Amino acid sequence: MKFICKRTSDYDERPCEEAVKESITFVDHRNVRTFEDLKRACGEDFLARGTNHKETSTGIQRDLGPRDVYMIEVNTLEELLEFREKYKRIVIEPYYDNHDYLLIEIYDT
């Protein structure tokens, strides 16, 4: 399984030796129910930018093009535990720019 990987102390540089740069789609997700709700709340025309506009059970979303990220591949629980042992404190959570991916953040501060 592929994970996006970042380091708390430096979000822009390669976070670890296992990481390779890949491109993913940046998904803009808003916690409002409809496109009209967003327009009423702040005047923004959500449909004016991006592609693949959707209303989902968790809000509205659109694709805003590619974004480069660092990825690592972890295929077993044992590999994940070895990674944690090597880098000590890690946090695993949904990636904020695309909820189709999980983020492993090396928590080093």
pLDDT value at residue 20: 98
Residue ranges in the chain modelled with pLDDT below 70: none
Rg (CA), the chain: 17
Among residues 54, 53, 61, 46, which one has the least CA distance to residue 96?
Answer: 61
pLDDT value at residue 11: 78
What is the b/e burial string over 24-33, where b = at least 16 CB atoms within 10 angstroms of the residue's CB? beebeebebe
Mean pLDDT of the chain: 93
pLDDT value at residue 24: 92
